[in-house]
């Protein structure tokens, strides 16, 4: 029986190369055959898949159950929310010059009115 898991918080053996460590993924999908000879065999499967994907050895990782469809739906939802937030910001920026002009006119009119009553 094969299951899909998410390896996350992956610690790569980069020999202290910080730039390489930053460039490597912090999580990857892995498939594990549960009909093996125990945890060490499962660990080998996971480490082999991670190393094959990146070319780097693995020092440590965490696992969680994983569904590619659920992850895609979550990423899509997060991207849509981010796009909506960016659109709101751009709409606000579009009107900013008009607001600035209105505030400048308001200030000038207010100052003229104050000067009349001095």
Q: Where are the domains of the chain?
A: 2-66, 81-118
Q: Name 65's Cβ contacts closer than 8 Å, sequence gap at least 6.
A: 3, 5, 6
Give strand pairing partners of 63. 7
d(CA 29, CA 52): 12
Residue in the block written with tokens 């400048």? 104
pTM above 0.75, yes or no: no
> Per-residue pLDDT tens for 21-66?
999 999 999 998 888 777 778 899 999 999 999 999 999 999 988 6
pLDDT at 48: 95
pLDDT at 42: 87
How many alpha carbons fall within 13 Å on the CB side of residue 78?
6
Where b means 16+ CB within 10 Å and e means fewer, 86-105 reads: eeeeeeeeeeeeeeeeeeee
d(CA 77, CA 80): 5
pLDDT at 54: 96
d(CA 108, CA 118): 16
Q: Are 30 and 73 in contact, with CB atoms under 8 Å apart?
A: no
Among residues 9, 62, 6, 56, the alpha carbon closest in space to that of 31 is found at 6
Q: Which band of pLDDT confidence, cut at 50, 70 and 90, is reported for residue 93?
A: low
Inform me whether the pLDDT recorded for 109 exceeds 90: no
């Amino acid at each position: 029986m094969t299951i899909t898991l998410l390896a996350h918080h992956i610690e790569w053996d980069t020999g202290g190369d910080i730039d390489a460590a930053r460039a490597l993924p912090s999580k990857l999908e892995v498939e594990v055959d549960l009909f093996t000879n125990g945890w060490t065999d499962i660990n080998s499967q996971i480490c082999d898949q991670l190393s094959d994907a990146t070319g780097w050895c693995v020092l440590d990782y965490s696992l969680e159950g994983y569904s590619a469809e659920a992850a895609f739906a979550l990423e899509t939802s997060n991207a849509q929310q981010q796009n909506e937030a960016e659109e709101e910001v751009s709409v606000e920026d579009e009107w900013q010059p008009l607001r600035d002009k209105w505030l400048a006119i308001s200030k000038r009119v207010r100052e003229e009115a104050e000067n009349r009553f001095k």
